[in-house]
Chains A and B, each alone.
Chain A
């Protein structure tokens, strides 16, 4: 069955960096676009970033553009989110999600999420 397992969350001070990872199984990862979606405590869902299956197209929400970088290693079935210059408003549960099609897509599978807390 499809599984997405995130890791790398934790508590970090403002201005510091953190790298999240998401390891996939149960589907052809190398043929799938992958996304990161976040949810601040008690709030709704916010799309963060997308990476095409071959790494050729990256897209970011305006709120993270220039600070976050999405990447992938298809040999390891893993997608990453490098988060730099973190701000308190980046505090959220971060989910990786599999896209059904290209960038403009719904998300048919989600990981369990990893909590990132940005606080001094």
Chain B
């Protein structure tokens, strides 16, 4: 199986900050990488597909980049609604998620 490792596990930030979350794959997943946002008690929401394609309705302050084994999710100018847990997921071979990154208020 391809293992996905996110860093950091927890991130403390303030409104207006630029935030970057990293996701590393144990083997290349090309660009078959998605990012999700999950708020407490809610289902995950798809933000980004194919490493960098923003889903419809997702604010442009979210962006994704990377290929192969290293990927990043960037939130420019963090908003109050963005405090949540973020997961990466590879779908190149089998389906596996990262362990999550919690973005909390500093």
Contact = CB atoms under 8 A, between A and B. Distances in A.
A45 B90 CA distance: 12
Contact of B46 (A35, A50, A108, A113): A108
A108 B97 CA distance: 15
A100 B32 CA distance: 12
Given A95-B43, A111-B43, A106 B49 contact: yes
Interface string B15-51: 0000000000000000010101010001111100100
Interface string A61-74: 00000000000000
Interface residues of B, number: 23
Given A95-B44, A107-B34, 11 more contacts: A44-B98, A45-B100, A47-B94, A47-B95, A100-B49, A104-B94, A105-B95, A106-B49, A108-B55, A111-B43, A113-B43
Contacts of A100: 49
Nearest to B48: A106
Nearest to A109: B46
B89 A106 contact: yes
A54 interface: no
A110 B55 CA distance: 14
Nearest to B49: A106
